[in-house]
Chains A and B, each alone.
Chain A
Amino acid sequence: MAQPQPQNVFAPWADPAEKPLIRFEGVTKRFGDFVAVDDLNLDIYEREFFALLGPSGCGKTTLMRMLAGFENPSEGNIWIGGQNMKGIPPNRRPVNMMFQSYALFPHLTVWDNIAFGLRREGMDKDRMRVRVDEMLRLSRLEKFAGRKPHQISGGQRQRVALARSLAKAPKLLLLDEPLGALDKKLRQDTQFELMDIQEKTGTTFVIVTHDQEEAMTVASRVAVMDHGKLVQVATPAHIYEAPETVYVADFIGDVNIIEGTVIPAQGNRVDITYAEGKPPIRAATDKTLVPGQRVSFAVRPEKILVSREMATERTNAVKGRIEDIAYLGNISTYHVRLDSGHLVSAQMTNRNRLERREFTWEDEVWLSWTETAGIVLTE
């Protein structure tokens, strides 16, 4: 999966000389008996756009709150800019946070909400006015400057919260699901704005999101969490194309998982037997596997070709019957039942108009993919 790399690619995590901006060092957080964050080690570098992904309740907010100083780790240390944060209260940390619940001050206007942090800094009146107006323009809230939070819409409130946390131009900005309440168009615009802000200010962002598309769009690196642990930390492309575990593969995007046993073949290939009397799946892998080992073969739907005739130029080809078709406009997902009983999804772009579609329900089709289309996972 070696891709041509552009010059001067931004990858401080790959450089051993680089000092991290944030370092989690064996951090554990317990609430009573419940372990919300479990012995976590993580480095985040300056100018990164770091996305935290994971199911609800896996500890994302808790991690953020420890960075901001609202919770103390039960064990371990957190370093920001080389300084141990132990005992440093939230108001003296170089961190601003945008809250999942926005936490706008209900008794202050939009303008005063945004100015709140600048006032605490003791910024002089003129500079503050300029700065707040700039923030209002950025978040397209000029018209609402004089309103109270209960007089604006949910999406506007979210933008106020964002503007308020950005106003102080912090070294590190924590965003807890910042764009959840925005419609798709506005969300994309805001994503690009965030990236733009980051380009200009060099702020480091840590962002929590439930939207993996968002994580893929904005993040320099993505961390997938589960039950208070980091499962994998890598670039979006790497996480998508080379997930290390079935959990990650399944969490990011759609994937077909087929379980089977390994028979090593020549080169760095393996054959995976997944059903009695069926030809095995042949896949390329770097892993050293022993014969008979149980593995999962993961292949994304868009890497599978659907055709009426057997596609001979591809190593793997199986026959099945279309059970269901999900039409999404630009693409269609075909759910195909194999003779072996497995249900496999395959995705095709809709090059023809709907009424001239090639395949329909109950059609017998061939599914085919190359050796390198999928990956072999051992856990």
Chain B
Amino acid sequence: MNGRLTWFNVTSLTLGFAFLYLPMLILILYSFNESKLVTVWGGFSAKWYGELLRNEQFLDAFWVTLRVGLISSTLATVLGTMAAYVMVRGGRFFGRTLFTGMIYAPLVMPEVITGLSLLLLFIAIGLDRGIFTIVLAHTTFSMCFVSVVVSSRLVTFDRSLEEAALDLGATPLDTFRLVTLPIITPAVISGWLLAFTLSLDDLVIASFTSGPSSTTLPIKIFSAVRLGVSPEINALSTLMIAVVALGVITASLVSKNALRRQRREKQEAFAA
């Protein structure tokens, strides 16, 4: 690459990043504002973070969000991995194309529709809305993201490894546990992180499926902001940005590692 920093490159880089990150930067900055007035800078202070820790409502919402995130991303990872495995390895069974299409459809489905249809379903079967319904809803929509990530790893997976395991006397279940799973683990972890982040972010689907006793953080923030932006909200949002950033960075590191390993495997195959 001829990566010289011309004035043009510098300008477009600055503009692009400013566009993306200036709003967040301002939010983070104002979360450390001493003044109660959001638009007036009154000196540096971390007191709103302290306030936040004493706010029962926000703390409750935080625990709900965390629990929903952990449970739903784990469920989504299990289901999504299973779906991916069947799609890639199932051979040509009846209705496979339809099944594959249906797994991917929620990726492009407007969230409002997903949320609404889930709401209707829960009402129809008489399920009380609460944490449980949010978990179900999040599992449903993040599972397809997991299956996309995992199946893209599975298609490049050397089939003969599984055959070799079977040949050496491993049952199909052992083969999955001892050979397939360890090799696709990085993809499964990035899938999990993706699902977790999606669950943390979600406002639309959660607002359809949450009950009065179970509000997630995004819902809380959204309704609080309608009464006016407070520095406390800024502090909370900053924390969320931190968590999501951490998740995204970990996911990209994991998949980068996996990519490197995959490349190595390929080199091996070439050498062979």
Contacts and interface: CB of A to CB of B under 8 A. Distances in A.
A89 interface: yes
Contacts of A149: 268
A120 B182 CA distance: 17
Interface in A251-270: none
Contacts of A165: 167
B160 A120 contact: no
B64 interface: no
B168 A101 contact: no
Contacts of A106: 161, 183, 261, 264-265, 268
Interface stretch (B34-42, B47-55, B71-79, B169-177): B169-177
B269 A101 contact: yes
B179 A105 contact: yes
B183 A90 contact: no
A91 B166 contact: yes
Contacts of A117: 168-169
A60 to B, nearest CB: 16
A120 B170 contact: yes
Interface string B163-198: 111111111101000110011000000000000000
Contacts of A104: 164
B168 A164 contact: yes
B158 A120 contact: no
B20 interface: no
B3 to A, nearest CB: 31
A237 B179 CA distance: 44
Contacts of B272: 101-102, 154, 157-158, 181
Contacts of B169: 91, 117, 120-121, 168
A110 to B, nearest CB: 13
B183 to A, nearest CB: 6
Contacts of A157: 268, 271-272
B179 A101 contact: no
Interface in A59-117: 68-70, 89-91, 95-97, 99, 101-107, 116-117
B182 A150 contact: no
B2 interface: no
A101 B183 contact: no
Contact of B182 (A97, A107, A154): A107
Contact of A96 (B167, B182, B267): B167
Nearest to B162: A103
Contacts of A121: 169
A95 B265 contact: no
B271 A103 contact: no
Contacts of A168: 168-169
Nearest to B269: A101
A165 B165 CA distance: 11
B161 A90 contact: no
A122 B29 CA distance: 62
A99 B164 contact: yes
Interface of B is mostly: helix
A123 to B, nearest CB: 11
A103 B163 contact: yes
B161 A70 contact: no
Contacts of A158: 272
B168 A89 contact: no
Contacts of B163: 68, 70, 90, 99, 103
Nearest to A112: B178
Contact of A116 (B160, B165, B268): B165
A103 B183 contact: no
B264 A150 contact: yes
Nearest to B175: A91
Interface string A251-293: 0000000000000000000000000000000000000000000
Contact of A105 (B161, B167, B264): B161
Contact of A150 (B158, B170, B267): B267
Contacts of A153: 271
A102 B172 CA distance: 20
B141 to A, nearest CB: 32
Nearest to A154: B271
Contacts of B179: 105
Interface string B5-26: 0000000000000000000000
Given A101-B269, A150-B265, A154-B271, A91 B167 contact: yes
A91 B163 CA distance: 9
A103 B100 CA distance: 28
A70 B268 CA distance: 24
Residue with the greatest number of chain A CB neighbours at <10 A, chosen from B160, B161, B271, B272:
B272
B265 to A, nearest CB: 5
A91 B170 contact: yes
Contacts of B172: 89, 91
B104 to A, nearest CB: 27
A103 B167 CA distance: 11
Contacts of B164: 97, 99, 103-105, 164
Given A106-B268, A181-B272, A99 B160 contact: yes
Residue with the greatest number of chain A CB neighbours at <10 A, chosen from B164, B171, B182, B265:
B164
A104 B268 CA distance: 10
Interface of A: 68-70, 89-91, 95-97, 99, 101-107, 116-117, 120-121, 149-150, 153-154, 157-158, 164-165, 168, 181
Interface of B: 158, 160-161, 163-172, 174, 178-179, 182-183, 261, 264-265, 267-269, 271-272
Given A90-B167, A99-B160, 10 more contacts: A89-B172, A106-B161, A116-B170, A120-B169, A120-B170, A150-B264, A150-B265, A157-B272, A164-B164, A164-B168
Top 6 A-B residue pairs of the complex, sorted by shortest distance between their CB atoms? A117-B168, A103-B164, A120-B169, A103-B160, A90-B166, A154-B271
15 contacts: A68-B163, A70-B163, A89-B166, A90-B167, A97-B167, A101-B158, A103-B158, A103-B164, A116-B178, A120-B170, A121-B169, A150-B267, A150-B268, A153-B271, A158-B272
